[in-house]
Structure 1
Amino acid sequence: LDEEDMRMFKVDRIVNLAERTVTVLNHTDAGKCACLSSLSNETNTNNTASHRRKRAATSRPERVWPEGVIPYVISGNFSGSQRAIFRQAMRHWEKHTCVTFIERTTEESYIVFTYRPCGCCSYVGRRGGGPQAISIGKNCDKFGIVVHELGHVIGFWHEHTRPDRDDHVSIIRDNIQPGQEYNFLKMEPGEVDSLGEVYDFDSIMHYARNTFSRGIFLDTILPRYDVNGVRPPIGQRTRLSKGDIAQARKLYKCPKCGDSLQESSGNFSSPGFPNGYSAYMHCIWRISVTPGEKIILNFTSMDLYRSHLCWYDHVEIRDGYWRKAPLKGRFCGDKLPEPIVSTDSRLWIEFRSSSNWVGKAICGGEVKKDNGQIQSPNYPDDYRPNKVCVWKITVAQGYHVGLTFQSFESRAADNLIINNENILFLRHDNCAYDYLEVRDGNSESSPLLGRFCGYDKPDDIKSSSNQIWMKFVSDGSVNKAGFAANFFKEMDECSRPDNGRCEQRCVNTLGSYKCACDPGYELAADKRSCEAACGGFITKLNGSITSPGWPKEYPPNKNCIWQLVAPTQYRITLLFDVFETEGNDVSTRFLPQRGVGLSGSFQLDWCESPQAYSSFAWCNKDECSKENGGCQHECVNTFGSYSCQCRSGFILHENKHDCKEAGCDHVVNSVSGTITSPNWPDKYPSKKACTWALSTTPGHRIKIAFNEIDMEPHLECTYDHIEIYDGRDGKAPSLGRYCGTKKPQPIISSGNKMFIRFFSDNSVQKKGFEASHAAECGGRLKAEVKTKDLYSHAQFGDNNYPGASDCQWVITAEKGYGVELIFQTFEIEEEADCGYDYMELFDGADTKSPRLGRYCGSGPPEEIYSAGDSIVIKFRSDDTINKKGFHVRYTSTKFQDTLHSRKK
């Protein structure tokens, strides 16, 4: 109750103590509050800390909860044991009536278990227009007290405030604590409808004899003697009375036929079975089990009148808690339906016919899907005692099962055990009491992957096949929060024909993969290709060292260190054949080292000789002194040999002596980077033709942005120019030809390939250009009979998708064809409404088309078909949690094919 509620409660009534009644003023508010003291006020008459009072009536229809459904929220300040008591109390009401309590999602009116200054208090019935408090104060977190408070929520006031109470009890006013007299006032007849039920001494809504008494042995309410001369007991707080149940069923118009079923298994049948059912029967069964469990419904006998669409006699099964839940099926005739399995912990069954059925509450079961979550019963609250749950998880053939734990807490440990795989768990006698067991297969005899308990979260688990077996066991004593684990189909990306797009080695990891390189190589900046490794510890007596990528340009951001170690009494001599780095001018000469060790970072040759100078002179012959060593351009003497070199603009021929003009063709596969004209930032050479073939991840485009351009100007760029093509080579459509000094606007390809050509003639030379390239998501794609790939982000498989992504793809097929989407991988941040990160599908050429759905978490079904020739994929991510993303294959499919045949 808020302050406004309390003020309303205090002033909006007229009290006549002489007549011992209370008249409630006429208000438009839907609910009236019922305030009561803590438990000690009902059991200890000397406690005056809080007050307890009911003011409301069940005669007003607006206070009855529609459909008997009461959404609830439990505040976070209650412990797991308190939450369990609240749920037990709600299930007690559900067991005996047709009222249903559900966890609140978007409902406007709902109750909130909280703690307010009033102690233990609640509104009587539905207030409407938003949340209403049910306050559970200190010492009130007992089963009977919570059942009592929920009685007020449902619509009942104290039994002793009925207008006819003086015929059944006497109020001893002299024994009532000062200031508490109003708790014993009668309600006005217009506020109350007892629905024809007699006064109920046994009601859980009745005060005890000494409630609010001046002394523990003094009575405040005294029952009148019954026909046997005995005063009936009052004030029990253990369970609903028969009168409570009858009155609640009348208030909510519960069907006379049916029941609320909470047992783990049982057999039920229509009234009169097997002798036939009567006309105009209406029965409702509600089956509810512990959250996290499922229900299997088996029909063993059925003989109902058959009609078109089962319009007349039928049994209807709905997957949830009420008549508006998703329909599982409507059945009639004598053909037995297949077993029905709920997706949650509730089933709603309406009969206008007869059936004999078995409902069995289970945890575990066979799970045949590619991803999902497994939880211990009642998670995240404490699991129930004496539970045995077995899950058999099967994903698509050819995949493995990946298992990752989000939370893990079972009975505390007694011992410290080190498991294989270096997993550390606190355990009790090898997890003898409460535990989770995981096996590599589909049965209890499959190889054990681990038995887990305690508080340490297990490492990720991967099966060797497409099946995994899990068993959760709890004993009858200590219970904890349990576990939550995600399972998914684990694909071996490295088994794909493109080797995961890795140049050398592909290493599969759980939920992803990474590229690696052969010995002597290391990953380049794009994390896929490999380049020669540099540095090392060398003890050979002679050899050669080169900079990374030699004789091509070395890559940026490299730090190479070689350590050369010679035997004792030897020295190391270095000779640089070629030294060309930014801002350095080093002559090629010998670098003798006096000692047995040397470190350096350069391209060099070396030979080792005894420390005597003569040995050094002996092993160095100048081959270049005769006929230039046979070199066309330059001969460079080395220690123990020689080499030929070429002038700028030329490279060495395969015969190692002649020179040929250097090429200027580049293949660029990196996600982003920079390209420049030759000699940048100096003037580019004349008669130069260079090309760059850029490619990025399928489903993405390439964006080129010029940082600077300075080329020979011409109106049509006939002379020196750079031209950009929308494809893999110069035969693709031109996106533009540029020259002069004016920077073009950024240019974006339509696909995942772009070709750039630079040309200079033999006259004017300028500075050239510098441009940045990067992958750009979204664009227009063409669906064909051949299957194509689309990835959520350019670095899919290497990194999670980036934050603040906003991508849109329009996939279009030829006229007369539709688009088929087949999802291979889908992992996006999960949220109930997919409000953070999500993928959205539209059945048309733009986002104004009908929406097929918004997906996150485990994502959409494996196959989706468009109704027309286009489909739109929209992907958005915020700037917080990022996941693996998605990989979808798309193709075209004929409209005349049926959906069934297309799925085949």
Structure 2
Amino acid sequence: CGSTEAININTLRNYTLQSPGYPDGYGHNLDCEWIFSTIPENHLQIDFYNVDLDYRFPCLYDHVEIYSGKNGVQDWDLLTNICLPNDTYRETIETTNLMKVAFKTDSYKNSTGFNAMITETCGGSVGKSSGIISVTNSTFSNLYSLRCQWNISVRTGRTIQIQFTVFDIGENADSKCNNYLLLRNGQSSSSPMLGDGKYCYHRPPTMQTTSNHLYVKFRTKTRVRGFTMKYNEVSINCGGTFSLSTLDNSTTISSPNYPNIPLPHTECKWLISAVPGESIQIDFIERFDLTDTLDCDKEYVEIRDGGTFLSPLIGRYCESMPSTIVSRDNMIFIKFFTDIEEPRNGFKLRASIAKCGGTIRDTTGEIRSRYFNNKKSYPKKENCTWEIVGPEGHFIIFSFETLDLAYRSQLCFADYVEIFEHSIIDYNNITSVGKYCYKNNDTDEIRTTSNKIQVRFTSSDRNLPAAGFLLKFTTSREKCGGSLENDFGIITSPRYPAIMFPTRCEWTIKVTKGKMIQVEILDLDFDTTRPSQGLAFSNSDNFAAHITFVKPNDKIKYINSTDNTMSVFFWAIHSSNHRGFKLRYTSDQPSICIADFSSPSGVIYSPQNCTYYHCIWKRVDGDASSRTLVLKISINNANNPGTSPLSSCKFTSSVTVTAGSKLANKFRF
């Protein structure tokens, strides 16, 4: 029983499906399957006219299973089971353009069987690049009281163009629009309208969606002639092919609508070529604003070393602006892709015949003259500029691994490499770090103070034998903070008194037990225009016992601890041209946390007349197993007798008792 091949309802219009032997009864242990199909623009439905099966709720014995094909393929979802006599009264069961009906019986009783009708109706999910949706008298015998919906999808990065060749749904300008066609610019009934949205009597014009989805709804209450709509996939107007030459040696490309956002679900491809033997240089310019996702799978710029999408991948970028890219081939393939509803502003790049120079955004790297290690001298009349950008708050260290230039002299007047650094505060303010044309002790390590560096290479008009140069760089940052265990010392902000950059530092000072720490502010120069720089002091190493904050314009001269420990925390959120700070700490005065905790008995008390304090007393017994230490803690709230201790405290105070490394108890007051 059943069918071995799919039954095409589109050619049959309808199909009467009956159980084997109907109406004289079916056999035992049947397992029958029928598969029905129609075109993607339509879907299938089944109505049961008679159901007489040996059943037991919920359809445990003989029953009919109805499946719907998933995504236009034979991947089935079970919709329902049919076994009850009153199933003939249920609503029509609808599937996609694929339907499977399975009839299963057991080895016990049997009955008459079932009788059903399978038909096709308009509406469905369409995933083709082009096609026709036609709801007319020639495609459907009954156009009365229709409710049809279509979801049309094409490839990501494309749009959909529609054109109506037939449109007569029985309405005029004076009617109430009982019959209508609804078009939405998206994939759901809540998407924005396409064109006027709702069309009743006049034929919709040729239109185009802004994404790769279109939603169509057709509703009739009276008999109509119907409509025929052609749809086809359209590529967004972007991408192209460019050829670079000696006269026309560069071009710029950008994401669609740059610097504004592109349309959602856009895909663009460019092929850039140069004459054989040349390489192509890619420099990203202005802004680079793409959505950062895992593996850059939702929005990216992809660059390949060659002329097709199968060429070796150079990189896929979405997070930050890439460094200069130079191809090995004379062709380069660029792809822009976005598959999100709200794209970012995109990118712009310049493609040119590669010479020298570029931008490097990295923590390490190297710069070399052309033809270096190719057993050829570098070209004459070179004028190359590299921009190196390291992480914020870092500086850059250079070293020449090779520096073999012509015209060596102390003045370096002909062929030379010169390093400049941009000001942290003003990028356009640039100063020379040094000019180099031969190796000496000065070229082993060249340290800058900025994270933005410019390297220039200049050669004369004479081509003399010389290997060129190889300059390596790495980024680093000024170390700050740490543990200080001397009884006196100096603390300064990083690079004091030079320009400050964004940083955070924490120092922990620990002096001899029994002494307190006094910090003297020798110099303090912070940015007063915004609260982005400051110092904080604490009596403990975890900032639980706050002493004070020091901000710009504060006139504080001395800061004292209560015991032998203090923490100093410095932050600078923004770069500035202010000096920073210089502190001197000493430990000439005794601690105010005085008590002898080593005696067999005694009294420990908190410091008197102090707003804040942090005291630690330690006791070490040689044989603790044979002794028991008893502590009695009394809280004296002398300022406000009869009130809660907590009510008179600005900050909650506490006494913590530990035994070894374990917390024994903690009292708050």
Shorter-chain-normalised TM-score: which range?
A: 0.3 to 0.5
Asked which structure has the greater RCO (Cα within 8 Å, sep 6+), the reply is: 2
What is the TM-score with the length of structure 1 in the denominator? 0.28
More helix by share: 1
Q: Give the alignment's TM-score, normalised by structure 2.
A: 0.35
Structure showing the higher strand proportion among its residues: 2
